[in-house]
Structure 1
Amino acid sequence: MPLHIETPVVRSQALSRLSGKEVWLKLEALQPPGSFKLRGVGAACEHHAQRGARRLISSSGGNAGIAVAYSGRMLGLPVTVYVPESTTQHARDLIKREGATVVVHGASWQEANALAQTQVSADTAFVHPFDDELLWRGHATLVDELAAAACNFDAIVLSVGGGGLLCGVVEGLRRNGLSHIPVIAVETAGADSLAQSVAAGSRIELPAITSVATSLGAKQICAGAFDVVHSHDLRSQVVTDQDAILACQRFLDDHRLLVEPACGASLALAYGALPDALAPFKRPLFVVCGGATTSARQLERWRTER
C-alpha cells in the first residue's frame, strides 16, 4: 500500500481572477510530511524494505529527509538523515520528530551527501533525495491522479531543485498520453542550476547556493532532468527570492496553506512574476509542492531582510 495519499486538485478562484486564466492547483502540500517528496521517497523506501533493508540512510536539505524519516517510521525501519549546515533548525526538528537521527555536515547538500554515501553497508539502503528512477516513478503518480480526475490543463508549472519532481512529472505525462503538455520549470536566482545549464548547453555546477529557497539547493541538477530539456517541451524560468517569498505570503492569505519559498518560486508566476511565462496558456496547473521547513514568521523575516 503506498505511503503517500491522493491529494486534491482544485480550481483556484483567487488565482483565476487575478490572472484571467483557469488556474488549477495540485495540493501536494497536504501529504503527511508536508511535501510531494513522499510520493517518490515512499515508493523507494517500500522497495528497499521489501528487499530486506534493515536501515535507511538519506541526505537532504530538509523535505526529502522528513519524507524518509516518515517512511521509515511507517515501515518500522531506523533512519539516519545527513543534512547540510544550511538546513533550518525547524527542518532538523521535524526529521527528529519522526524518530530519525540527524547528522549535520558541510555547507551544502553535496557535502552532506558525500558523507552519507560512506555510511552505507550491506543491510542499509540509501535513499537519494532526487536522482533515482524509483523516485521518479513514485512522483509520476501525481500525473496519474490528474489523468484519472480528467483535469483539463494546458501546462504544468513546477519548481525545480535537483530535478526529481521534473523527471517524475514528465514520466507521468508520457505514460498518460500527455506528452504534448509543456512543463514550466521555475527556480530562484541563486539556486538556478537548470536555467544556467540550459543557457550553457551542458550541466553546470553552481559554486554555491545563495537563495533562501534552500530546498532547491542542489548545485547541479541530475542528468535525467537535463535530458528532459532535449526530450520534452520544457520552459525554464527564474524568479527572485522576493518573488518567491511574497508568493508564499499571498498564497497563505488566499488558500490558508503555508508553503516554503521553494514552492513559492513556481507560485510566483501565478502572482504576476514574469507574466510572459504564462501568456500562451489558458489553463495552467501548478504543482503546490509544499515544504514543511519554514514558518510564517520566517517568511516575514526574509521579506524584510531582502
Structure 2
Amino acid sequence: MTEHFHLSTPLLESASMSKRVGTPVYLKMENCQPSGSFKVRGIGHLCQQLARQSKGVVCSSGGNAGMAAAYVARKMGVPATIIVPSSSPQLVSQRLQHQGATVKIIGKVWDDANAEALRLAETEGLTYVPPFDHPLLWKGHATMIAEVAASLGPSVKPGAVLVSVGGGGLLCGVIQGMKDVGWMDVPIVALETVGADCFNAAIKAGSIVTLDDITSEAKCLGAKTVCRKAFEYSQCSELTIISEVVTDQQALRAIETFLDEERVLVEMACGAALAAVYSGLIRRLQDEGRLPTQLGPLLVVVCGGSSINMEQLANLKHKLQI
C-alpha cells in the first residue's frame, strides 16, 4: 500500500464570507497539512515515485515546497537539502531546520535558488524536487478536488473555484482534479499579487513571459515565469480561467480579516485568493458579466503557508503601511 504524506483536509463553510458574496463559500483548508500548505500532496506523490532509493532530495523554494520536501524526506528517512533565496523570511530557514533539512541561502529570488538546486542534483546525484512544474506534482495536488467533490456530494457543483497562482503548480493540479470529477465547466478565478503576476502577464502577452523582478511581498508567489502547462490551460477553449491581480495591501487585509473571522493565520500568497471575496472582486466580476449573477457555491483553496507568524505579520503591516 502506498503511504500518503498528506491529510484529507477539512472543507468548511464560512458564514461571514458567504454573507459577503451572497452564496455559500466553502474553504478547503490546506493550511492544515502537516507541512503547512497544499504542497505536501504533490511533493509527497513525486517523492513516492522518484525518491525511494535516493541518497537525498534537493528542492529550491521560497518556503512551502521546501517545507513539504523536508517533511516528506524526514518521513522517508532520506536527507533533504533545501535551497532558499535571501528574500525568504528567516522563520522559513528555522522551520526547515526543525524538519531536519540542510538549508542553503542562495541568490535573491527563487530562480537563483533553483539554478543551484539543479546544479546540486547534477553534481551530487540528488533527486531534484521541482516546486511546481512536474506532472507528478499536479497529480498529487488533484487529490484535493477529489476530496471536495466527495464532501459536497454528486448534487453540488461549485459556481467557481478561487485559487492563488505562483508558478502554476496548484492551478494545474486543481484543473486536473476538476477534469477527474467532471467540473470542466466550472470557472476558475486565478489570483496573483501585483509584482508576482507572471501568469497574468503571460495571458496579456499571449505567450510566456519572465518578469524582471519579484516586487510583491507575497514572496511565495514569487516565480518570475509561470509553468508552460498553466499557460496552455489558459489558452484552452474548454476551460474558463479568469486571471485577476490584487494589490499587496488587499492580500494583507484579506489575511487579517481571515484571522479575525476564521481564527486562522495564512500567508500573503494565500491572501491573494481570499482577497477575491474580501475586496469585492467577485462582485465586480458578476457586475462585468464574467461570473453569473446567480452564482453557485464558491470553493476557495486556502493554500496555507509556513512563512508567516505574528512578527512577520507586523513587519508586513509596517512595510505596506496598513
Q: TM-score range by the shorter chain?
A: over 0.9
Correspondences of 1:216-231 after superposition (within 5 Å): 216-231=221-236
Match of 2:284 in 1: 276
Match of 1:291 in 2: 305
Equivalent position to 1:168, from 127, 151, 173: 173
Equivalent position to 1:39, from 38, 41, 45: 41
Deviates more, 1:247-256 or 1:290-299: 290-299
Unaligned runs of 5+ in 2: none
What is the rounded CA distance, in whole Å, between the counterparts of 1:79 and 1:130 in structure 2?
A: 17
Contact 2:250 2:279 in 1 (8 A): no
Match of 2:58 in 1: 57
What do residues 103-139 of structure 1 show as CA deviations (whole Å, max 9, x unaligned)? Answer: 1111111111001101114752100000000100000
What do residues 54-93 of structure 1 show as CA deviations (whole Å, max 9, x unaligned)? Answer: 2101100111000000000000000001111101100111
Contact 1:88 1:293 in 2 (8 A): yes
Match of 2:77 in 1: 76
Deviates more, 1:236-245 or 1:280-289: 280-289
Q: Does 1:214 align with 2:209?
A: no
Contact 1:58 1:81 in 2 (8 A): yes
Q: Does 1:159 align with 2:160?
A: no
| Runs of at least 4 residues off by over 4 Å | none
Contact 1:63 1:215 in 2 (8 A): yes
- Residue type of the partner of 1:252? L
Deviates more, 1:159-168 or 1:140-149: 140-149
Match of 1:259 in 2: 266
Correspondences of 1:13-28 after superposition (within 5 Å): 13-28=15-30
Contact 2:157 2:296 in 1 (8 A): no
Contact 1:159 1:266 in 2 (8 A): yes
What is the rounded CA distance, in whole Å, between the counterparts of 1:301 and 1:145 in structure 2?
A: 36
Unaligned runs of 5+ in 1: none
- Residue type of the partner of 2:204? A
Q: Does 1:192 align with 2:158?
A: no
What is the rounded CA distance, in whole Å, between the counterparts of 2:138 and 2:226 in structure 1?
A: 14
Contact 1:84 1:111 in 2 (8 A): yes
Distance 1:166 1:100, change over 3 A: same
Contact 1:136 1:165 in 2 (8 A): yes
**How many pairs does the alignment contain?**
305
Q: CA RMSD in A?
A: 1.3
Contact 1:245 1:261 in 2 (8 A): yes
Q: TM-score, normalised by structure 1?
A: 0.97
